[in-house]
Structure 1
Amino acid sequence: MKREEYLDDYQDHAERRPKKKKKKKKRKHRVYAFFVLLFAFLILVLGIFILFHVQKVEVKGNDYCSTEEIVKSVQNDKYSVNGLYVLAKYKLGYGKQPDCFESIKVSLKNPWTLKIIVQEKERIGYVMDSDGKYYYFDQDGMVVDVEEAPVDGIPLVDGMDPDELKLYHKLKKKSSIIYQEILEATREMKKYELSVTKIMCRSDRIYVYIGNVCVSLGNDVTSVKVAQIPKILEKLEGKEGTLHLENFSDESDTATFDIGVFPEDAG
């Protein structure tokens, strides 16, 4: 009996040994698989960092905003050296957009080249400070550009005298009621594509210079008044002087022209 019991115990022990070996092999396979996956993941991450490292940035659509300023605003943190990160940042709405832009679009031309397309806010007028700098503003009256020289095709606004001139800040003039009318004049001139060289304010009256003609709009700028300017200028046939539209309205079509007389002469 003792011999039989011994043989039974030996057989049970022999049956358990292969099971233990199988468990050990499974553990080894799992550990091996884990390190393989980890290694593959690290290679993938490293590949992304190396392949998508920004080496070149292309900027299109900018006129007055410098390429350097645009690139600096897009790559504004330490992670922005990676093209995928920058792309994701703008796709998710976390990208920075300078105040002088209507829109900005960021894409990848290839893994190492960023492509930036911008649409700038239109400059509709400018004012000068005492140092001779030119502050250009948009239709909302916000300064979007500062230059050292005047730009062709954009009118000077004389007599506005804002309290503060600062880039990306709105022009403000607390003491003048006519201030908003000046802004309205610049918007209307742009709307009707009139080639204005200067918009002047004197004694709360607004004058607009178009070629050799000064248009007097009074203290109230309306679309009805401005809409008449192109039609009347055609009839004047190159004459010089002041066109009076102060009292022109839907109810009154009064418009007079003083040949050879300008506000400076009358003042």
Structure 2
Amino acid sequence: MSQEKIVSIEERIPKLKQARKKKSNRRLVFYLSIFFILISVIIYLQSPLSHVREVVVNGNSLLEEEEVIRQSGLDDSTNIWTIDKPGITSALTSNPMVESAEISRKFPWTVKISLQEYKRIGYIKEESSYFPVLGNGRVLTQLENVPFKGDAPLLFNFTEEEHLHRMTAELDQLPHSLLNLISEIHWQPNESSKNNILLYMNDGYVVSGSIRSFAEKMQVYPSIVSQLDPDSEGIIHIGVGAYFEELGTGEAEEGQEGSEE
């Protein structure tokens, strides 16, 4: 009986050795695979294959794409895995035209820049040149030969920076539907108030108002116009009260006139 058991164990020894050998081989293959993967990753990171080959810019209308890419500092020597997103965002938002910027990777070698520019809410004309005015009050005098497209009103006589900024802040709050109705805005300060403005509208009406709370008070303009005779000529007042004063009669159709400091 014991002899049979000894023979049986001896027969199993080669099988055990073979199993151990297979296990060792599998372990060797696993470690070699990890080694070659690491080597491949290192080679990839050190080679031009990991460099940025394309930069896509979205959301730019005032800035040229080449200028955005230049300000970002991205080029074909930049490793796509090591791009400094906070640094690029900070560099782009230092531009007075840019409100916010978002950087994202699009593998294998593309970087996407999504910009949010400040809204263009007007133009200032100096001699024969037009300069865009942004919602943050910045006048882009560095831009040359900007065509006037009529997509925002012309601003006249805003000689004080403080009131220009206050006006642009109000215009920035207007929906495009109302902003597009305004053709010109003239600042007309007087002894009683420095907030007085006169607007010429694209639909032919004239509006007298105030810089103070202009965005809020301008909301009533469409409802006032809808009640007027299309052939009527006059001034729509949106100061303390909202009413229409027909030219030549001095009669107000709605509300009471007031003054605002």
TM-score, normalised by the number of residues in structure 2: 0.63
Give secondary structure in 1 for the equivalent of 2:44: helix
| Deviation, structure 1 residue 218 | 5.0
| Deviation, structure 1 residue 44 | 4.1
Rate the CA distance shift 1:122–1:181 in 2: closer, same or farther, 3 A.
closer
Distance 2:211 2:101 in 1: 38
- Pick from 102, 123, 128 the counterpart of residue 125 of structure 2: 128
Aligned twin of 2:154: 156
Aligned twin of 1:217: 209
Rate the CA distance shift 1:75–1:184 in 2: closer, same or farther, 3 A.
closer
Structure 1 position 257 matched with structure 2 position 242: no
Rate the CA distance shift 1:40–1:222 in 2: closer, same or farther, 3 A.
closer
Give secondary structure in 2 for the equivalent of 1:81: coil
- Pick from 52, 66, 76 the counterpart of residue 50 of structure 2: 52
Structure 1 unaligned blocks of 5 or more: 1-36, 163-171, 262-267
The root-mean-square deviation of aligned C-alpha atoms, in Å, is: 3.5
Give secondary structure in 2 for the equivalent of 1:69: helix
Rate the CA distance shift 1:246–1:54 in 2: closer, same or farther, 3 A.
closer
- Measured against aligned partners, the alpha-carbon deviations of 1:23-82 in whole angstroms (never above 9, x if no partner) come to xxxxxxxxxxxxxx8x99786444214222122221122222110111111126x89622
- Pick from 81, 84, 87 the counterpart of residue 81 of structure 2: 84
CA contact (8 A) 1:216 1:242 kept: no
Distance 1:181 1:223 in 2: 11
Distance 2:176 2:54 in 1: 39
Give secondary structure in 2 for the equivalent of 1:212: coil
Rate the CA distance shift 1:107–1:42 in 2: closer, same or farther, 3 A.
same
Distance 1:84 1:224 in 2: 48
CA contact (8 A) 1:60 1:116 kept: yes
User: How many residue pairs are counted as aligned between the two chains?
Assistant: 204
- Measured against aligned partners, the alpha-carbon deviations of 1:124-160 in whole angstroms (never above 9, x if no partner) come to 1111223x33222222212358352113321110111
- Measured against aligned partners, the alpha-carbon deviations of 1:152-183 in whole angstroms (never above 9, x if no partner) come to 32111011136xxxxxxxxx36xxxx545533
Structure 1 position 70 matched with structure 2 position 68: yes
CA contact (8 A) 1:160 1:182 kept: no
TM-score, normalised by the number of residues in structure 1: 0.62
